Amino acid sequence: MITSTVPCSNANMVGKCRSTVLLFHKMESITNVMEYETIAKEKLPKMIYDYYASGAEDQWTLQENRNAFSRILFRPRILVDVRSIDTTTSVLGFKVSMPIMVAPTAMQKMAHSEGEYATARATSAAGTIMTLSSWATSSVEEVASTGPGIRFFQLYVYKDRNVVRQLVKRAERAGFKAIALTVDTPRLGRREADIKNRFVLPPHLTLKNFEGLDLGKMDKTYDSGLASYVAGQVDQSLSWKDVKWLQTITHLPILLKGVLTAEDARLAVESGAAGIIVSNHGARQLDYAPATVMALEEVVKAVQGRIPVFLDGGIRRGTDVFKALALGASGVFIGRPVVFSLAVDGEAGVRKVLQMLQDEFELTMALSGCRSIKEITRSHITAPWDSPRITPRL
- To the question of whether residue 315 is assigned a binding role by annotation, the answer is yes
- To the question of whether residue 90 is assigned a binding role by annotation, the answer is no
- To the question of whether residue 336 is assigned a binding role by annotation, the answer is yes
- To the question of whether residue 138 is assigned a binding role by annotation, the answer is no
- To the question of whether residue 316 is assigned a binding role by annotation, the answer is yes
**SS3 track for the chain:** CCCCCCCCCCHHHHHHHHHHHHHHHHHHCCCCCHHHHHHHHHHCCHHHHHHHHCCCCCCHHHHHHHHHHHCCEECCCCCCCCCCCECCEEECCEEECCCEEECCCCCHHHCCCCHHHHHHHHHHHHCCEEEECCCCCCCHHHHHCCCCCEEEEEECCECCHHHHHHHHHHHHHCCCCEEEEECCCCCCCCCHHHHHHCCCCCCCCCCHHHHHHCCCCCCCCCCCHHHHHHHHHECCCCCHHHHHHHHHHCCCCEEEEEECCHHHHHHHHHCCCCEEEECCHHHCCCCCCCCHHHHHHHHHHHHCCCCCEEEECCCCCHHHHHHHHHCCCCEEEECHHHHHHHHHHHHHHHHHHHHHHHHHHHHHHHHHCCCEHHHCCHHHEECCCCCCCCCCCC
- To the question of whether residue 156 is assigned a binding role by annotation, the answer is yes
- To the question of whether residue 306 is assigned a binding role by annotation, the answer is no
Q: Which of these is catalytic: 25, 112, 281, 380?
A: 281
- To the question of whether residue 318 is assigned a binding role by annotation, the answer is no
Is residue 281 part of the annotated active site? The answer reads yes
- To the question of whether residue 118 is assigned a binding role by annotation, the answer is no
- To the question of whether residue 335 is assigned a binding role by annotation, the answer is yes
Distance between CA atoms of residues 78 and 89, nearest Å? 24
- To the question of whether residue 182 is assigned a binding role by annotation, the answer is yes
- To the question of whether residue 51 is assigned a binding role by annotation, the answer is yes
- To the question of whether residue 104 is assigned a binding role by annotation, the answer is yes
Give the residue numbers of the binding site for glyoxylate. 51, 156, 191, 281, 284
Give the residue numbers of the binding site. 51, 104-106, 133, 154, 156, 182, 191, 257, 279, 281, 284, 312-316, 335-336
Catalytic residues: 281
Give the residue numbers of the binding site for FMN. 104-106, 133, 154, 182, 257, 279, 312-316, 335-336
